[in-house]
Chains A and B, each alone.
Chain A
Amino acid sequence: MSLLEVTDLKVSFNTSDGVVQAVRGMTFSIDRGKTLGIVGESGSGKSVSTQTLMGLTPGAKVSGQALFEGQDLLSMTPDQLRRIRGPQISMIFQDPLSSLHPLYKVGWQIVEMIRAHEPNVSKADARKRAVELLGMVGIPQPDRRVDDYPHQFSGGMRQRAMIAMALALNPKLIIADEPTTALDATVQAQILDLMLRLQREFDTALIMITHDLGVIADLADDVLVMYAGKPVEQTDRRSLYYRSHHPYSAGLLRSIPSGAGGRGGRLIPIPGQPPSLISPPSGCSFHPRCPYVMDTCRVDEPPLREVAAGHGSACWLPKDALGLGPEAEQLRESAVAEGRTEVGA
């Protein structure tokens, strides 16, 4: 049994402009100690989906199932879910400055979390654990810095403190929502290294949410690419980087600096804007931006189907058009020229 198994998760919000379908059917699972990368542009539903699992999206209409160790998170009472948050599943957020309470000492905020779930732990013991944790995430002189306020920490140190807090109760799963996006490039690598090291040390499963494929390049076991509230490609990390199938994944890969787009070559942006989630496009929601768009794409929505073993893609292009190489490119182009889709083939 997987640690977390999410089936057909749908999340929508009623707004004055209409119903926003933030997540439109998401299925994934993650095993103990593994790392899942969820990639997508802002508004693709990657943060909403995980925050919904944790019960942090008030006012959302939710359907589907999310079994965490066999128990459905989505049908839990708020109090049951509260007991999961922290000791079982913890979260790390994007901006550590705004995510830490500005008026409380960093150590106090860690102590508070420990004592909220383990009320028998004395304040002194919890503090000792906070100091240990801060030391473990690489904060110098943790016995002194434990009494600092967040604004006295640097950006990287704040995120280290958030990581320390996330690890405080030794959770089985950590959800990291763009943990390095707000940090300097040099600090980003340090934080990723730290997370990787601690994940192995604690044997924690990790869901890494990012818009940057570079971040999960050497971190994730599996990758889920989200577009307009739906997973469009789902595979292991190597396949995504070397044998991606969906044109959106390919677009993301081409827009990584010095990545698969070729060293020294130009970055190729994906043209257009992410679609509206109030009225998503007909057919494949990526079709208005897709360079390989065919007639079918505008009408029929492609299901997530297996293009190789353990490799799913929601695209009508031929199954064997994998990767960014010239052969695959030729396959794709001829498919588009002939209007041939997998349905007919």
Chain B
Amino acid sequence: MFRFIIRRLLFGILVLWLVTTTVFCLLHISPTPVEKMIAGPRASAATVALIRHNLGLDRPFLVQYWSFLKDTFTGDLGYSYVTQAKVSSIIADRLPATLWLVLGAAVLWFVGGITTGVLSATKARSLLDRTSTGFVLLGLSIPPFLMALLLPFLFIHEIGITWFQTGQYVSPFEDPTLFLQRMILPWLALAFLIVATYTRLTRGSMMDVLGEDYIRTARAKGLSERRVIYRHGLRAALTPIVTQFGVDIGALIGSTIVTEKVFGLQGIGQLVYNSIVKGDTPVILGVTLLTALFVVVANLIVDIGYSFLDPRVRVD
């Protein structure tokens, strides 16, 4: 088990290195040099050269790359070209909003997806199954921006629940009520886009499992139907779902741009958007690294968690 984790960790580091190197190279072949963007269109050649020098961009490519790698390894992600602030503190500032957004939505879509999935698997072709299949289709087909626009309109303007708010992220430790007021709609919007996948995944997995011989055994043992479905069926059906769940959460950090933008949450997604528009290379690199880190860590957790979920793949 220990060797397995070490191997996965080393592999994860390799992935991170490849990701950052790729992004670093891509940004260096960008058509508008960054020093020109900072200096503005009417700056003199001397100013541009000075900025270029200050940013260390006049050094040879490999030297830049090496110092970038060394700094990254020690946790120093450099300074923003635009605000001159430390990239690590910019990210640390923005991360909570995105983390709360993703985690809250994740709970909703996980619980919602599994509940509807199990119900439609055990009552296949019933009205409930058909209704949830319809919702699944709706969730899959609505574009994220529309969903994010639709929910506040529906809940606040049409239904008139004025308790809900839209606005900037507030830490739950400062004002828990306001936090909920502002986060519930973004959670719903994000979860509704993804819950469909989990309903389908759960339904399929459950229907496979419920046809297994050990489910017949569980019934032959005289267990209650609820125990057969949840303790025996869902327990076995859960493995692929949890795997997907880990990967999805990891991948979602850094790709919630639309939801954040529409709801005005100052998270990582917005940060990425602004940085790309302004050509703020160090921040883009920092966020990319962070996103890759989350994906790698999520995969690692899934791999390790898998061996706890399924004793057959347990590595000794």
**A, B assembled together:** yes
Inter-chain CA distance A162–B218, complex, in Å, is 12
Contact B311 A103 (CB under 8 A): yes
Contact A165 B218 (CB under 8 A): no
**Given contacts A90-B220, A117-B222, are A95 and B236 in contact (CB under 8 A)?**
no
Binds B, one of A7-15, A77-85, A254-262, A309-317: A77-85
- B222 close to A95 (CB less than 8 A): no
Give bound CA distance, A104 to B221, whole Å: 15
* From A55, A85, A99, A113, contact of B213 by CB (8 A): A99
B214 interface residue, CB < 8 Å from A? yes
Cβ of A93 < 8 Å from any Cβ of B?
yes
Interface centre among A78, A85, A103, A151 (most CB of B within 10 A): A103
Docked-complex contact B312 and A93, CB < 8 angstroms: no
A10 to chain B, nearest CB (A): 22
Asked if B310 is an interface residue, CB under 8 A from chain A, the answer is yes
Q: Which residues of B contact A100 (CB under 8 A)?
A: 214, 217
CA distance A98 to B211 in the complex (A): 11
- A149 near B311: Cβ-Cβ < 8 Å: yes
A116 at the interface (CB under 8 A from B): yes
Which of A85, A99, A104 meets B222, CB within 8 Å? A85
The residue that B220 contacts in the complex, of A54, A98, A101, A102, with Cβ under 8 A, is A54
A56 and B216 form a contact (CB under 8 A):
yes
What does the 1/0 interface line of B203-236 toward A look like (CB < 8 Å)?
A: 0000000001110111111111101000010011
Query: Which residues from 60 to 106 on chain A have a C-beta closer than 8 Å to any C-beta of chain B?
Result: 78, 82-87, 90-91, 93, 95, 98-104
Tally inter-chain residue pairs, CB-CB below 8 A: 72
What CA separation (Å) do A100 and B217 show in the bound complex?
Answer: 7
Tell me if A132 counts as interface (CB < 8 A to partner B): no
Please provide the chain A residues from 153 to 179 with a CB less than 8 Å away from any CB of chain B in the complex.
162, 165
Contacts of B214 in A (CB 8 A): 98-102
Q: Give chain A residues whose Cβ lies under 8 Å from the Cβ of B216.
A: 51, 56, 93, 99
> For the complex, is A112 an interface residue (Cβ under 8 Å from B)?
yes
Bound Cα distance from A116 to B224, whole angstroms: 8
Distance in angstroms between the alpha carbons of A98 and B209 in the assembled complex:
11
What are the residues of chain A within 8 A of B224 when measuring CB–CB?
82, 116
Q: Does A101 contact B236, Cβ atoms closer than 8 Å?
A: yes
A82→B225 CA distance, assembly (Å): 9
A residues near B225, Cβ cutoff 8 Å: 78, 82
Q: Residue of B at shortest CB range from A97?
A: B213
- The answer to whether B221 touches A98 (Cβ under 8 A) is no
| Interface 0/1 of A34-63, CB less than 8 Å to B | 000000000000000001001110000000
Of the A-B pairs whose beta carbons lie under 8 Å apart in the complex, a sample of 13, sorted by A's number, is: A54-B220, A82-B225, A85-B220, A91-B217, A98-B213, A100-B214, A100-B217, A103-B310, A104-B235, A116-B227, A149-B311, A151-B312, A165-B221
Chain B positions within 8 Å of A, measured between CB atoms, are 212-214, 216-225, 227, 232, 235-236, 309-312
